[in-house]
Amino acid sequence: MDIQALEAQYTSGVYAKRDLTIVAGKGAILYDDRGREYIDCVGGQGVGNLGHAHPAIVKAISSQAERLITCPEIFYNDQRAALQARLCELTKMSRVYLCNSGTEAVEAALKFARATTGRKNIVAAMRAFHGRTMGALSATYNKKYRDPFEPLVPGFSHIPYNNPEKLAEAVTGETAAVILEVVQGEGGVYPATPEFLEAAQKICRERGALLIIDEVQTGFGRTGRLFAYQRYGLEPDLICVGKSIAGGLPMGAALISERVRPLSIGWHGSTFGGNPLASAASLAALKVIEEEKLPERAEQLGAAFREQLTSIPSPLIREVRGLGLMIGIELKQKVAPYIQAMTEQGILVLNAGMNVIRLLPPLVIQPEQLDRVAQALETVLTHPQAETVENN
Ligand SMILES: *Cc1c(COP(=O)(O)O)cnc(C)c1O
């Protein structure tokens, strides 16, 4: 059976596919159907902070699957209760709404912000990515994602990222919330300045708007802290998480502070939300992140790795940016051919837009594996590549 032909025939068509069939993984390594191995710096697009087939996650999922997979939130459940308590303990938030993806976490936060402030407007940033359902998409900036689906939800505006003055102009007595990523991921791996984040919190507090921090990509150790906002002493009113929250299983959550007024029964809900299987996986993931000190690992490995990348003598590189092991290499030209060349070197990398190579390796990656990635990048970026098909 030709897997690629079969999938190409029946897949929805909304994804740009690479010419690779991935069938297994272990740690930071992925295997294709011919047994060829790759160092994985795609990291499931941010889902794979713990690496592939982590034994603690495999065990948590298999033993919970034998006990109870599904249980709606109309009943209490041991795994869900423990997870909600743990997430609040780790973030100093007071309540948790559990769902199944990042965009749902954002959707929930936007609804909670509108409902509890009684205001309509949401201020987001240019280059922001918050997801693709209608509410989250309205906060997302990229025209390519938005334009075919207009009209989107009214009341959204976008200000330049890292510009406190423009933010101050945009937030009024009609603003329900400001939503920001701490490092813009899809938009090109742009870290926020501390001044911008501090100003955002201050402006929100002064004007009675809520501050929603989207940690879907930056969360769970990726940037060298459990959550990136913790680096800046922020106290967000709502935090959106997803991606690596459950060791690879689909899950998302909106973490809710005391400053959000109590929510009413029926305002929101999800059939799969807070299911015991994902909750057990998430509890196990949080334990691994703590025991294996993954945030510290991301901080240390990331700093050394970014230094290696910065010293690559290639005139193609405009800038190396990032935080922890969330890294962007901006080129002066399109990255698609270089991503293809990296695959030929046995390394899978992502893009972020047309000109940025994005690296999201599992935080369990070995230093020697990162050395190989840096060497391959040097090889590829010091030799011009022919144009290939667009990657995104
Ligand atoms: C990926 C992402 C989302 C959307 O998450 P999905 O699980 O794909 O719906 C939202 N916000 C940010 C910052 C993301 O990186």
Whichever domain contains 161, its CATH number is: 3.40.640.10
How many domains does the structure of the chain reveal?
2
Tell which of 247, 264, 291 closes a domain.
Answer: 291
Give the mean pLDDT of the chain. Answer: 97
Tell which of 263, 291, 319 closes a domain.
Answer: 291
Residue nearest to atom 6 of ligand 1 (CA): 102
If asked whether residues 196 and 113 sit together in one domain, one would say: yes
If asked whether residues 45 and 65 sit together in one domain, one would say: no
Residues 276-295, mean pLDDT to the nearest whole number: 98
Closest CA to 139 of 100, 177, 193: 177
Residues 248-257, mean pLDDT to the nearest whole number: 98
Tell which of 236, 263, 291 closes a domain.
Answer: 291
Active site residues: 129, 214, 243
If asked whether residues 183 and 72 sit together in one domain, one would say: yes
Which of 14, 104, 127, 129 maximizes ligand 1 atoms within 8 Å of its Cβ, making it the mutation to test the pocket? Answer: 129
Dist CA 179 CA 239 (whole Å): 9
pLDDT given at position 383: 86
pLDDT at 237 over 60: yes
Ligand 1 closest atom vs CA 186: 15
Dist CA 343 CA 264 (whole Å): 50
Distance 103 CA to ligand 1 centre (A): 6
If asked whether residues 203 and 351 sit together in one domain, one would say: no
Which of 45, 47, 103, 134 maximizes ligand 1 atoms within 8 Å of its Cβ, making it the mutation to test the pocket? Answer: 103
For 183-215, what is each residue's pLDDT tens digit?
999 999 999 999 999 999 999 999 999 999 999
Predicted confidence band at 386 (pLDDT cuts at 50, 70, 90)?
Answer: confident
Whichever domain contains 366, its CATH number is: 3.90.1150.10
If asked whether residues 198 and 287 sit together in one domain, one would say: yes
Q: Counting Cβ atoms within 10 Å, is residue 62 exposed (0-12), middle (13-18) or buried (19+)?
A: exposed
pTM: 0.97
Share of the chain above pLDDT 90, in %: 97
Residue nearest to atom 5 of ligand 1 (CA): 102
pLDDT at 392 over 60: no
If asked whether residues 256 and 216 sit together in one domain, one would say: yes
Predicted confidence band at 385 (pLDDT cuts at 50, 70, 90)?
Answer: confident
pLDDT given at position 56: 98
Distance 215 CA to ligand 1 centre (A): 9
Dist CA 120 CA 116 (whole Å): 10
Distance 136 CA to ligand 1 centre (A): 9
Ligand 1 closest atom vs CA 101: 7
Distance 3 CA to ligand 1 centre (A): 28
Distance 130 CA to ligand 1 centre (A): 5
pLDDT at 370 over 80: yes
If asked whether residues 68 and 150 sit together in one domain, one would say: yes
- Cα distances from 388 to residues 60, 67, 161, 186, 230, in angstroms, run 42, 49, 32, 21, 40
If asked whether residues 245 and 124 sit together in one domain, one would say: yes
If asked whether residues 148 and 8 sit together in one domain, one would say: no
pLDDT given at position 102: 98
Buried b / exposed e across 195-205, counting CB within 10 Å, b at 16+?
ebbebbbebbe
Contacts of 150 (CB under 8 A, 6+ apart): none
Residues 298-311, mean pLDDT to the nearest whole number: 98
If asked whether residues 27 and 170 sit together in one domain, one would say: no
Count of CB atoms situated within 10 Å of the CB of 154: 9
pLDDT given at position 388: 60
pLDDT at 389 over 60: no
pLDDT given at position 321: 98
Residues 317-336, mean pLDDT to the nearest whole number: 98
Residue nearest to atom 15 of ligand 1 (CA): 217
If asked whether residues 126 and 85 sit together in one domain, one would say: yes
Ligand 1 closest atom vs CA 136: 10
Predicted confidence band at 103 (pLDDT cuts at 50, 70, 90)?
Answer: very high
If asked whether residues 25 and 115 sit together in one domain, one would say: no
Its domain, for residue 267, covers: 55-291
- Token couple for 68: 């109870």
For 42-81, what is each residue's pLDDT tens digit?
999 999 999 999 999 999 999 999 999 999 999 999 999 9
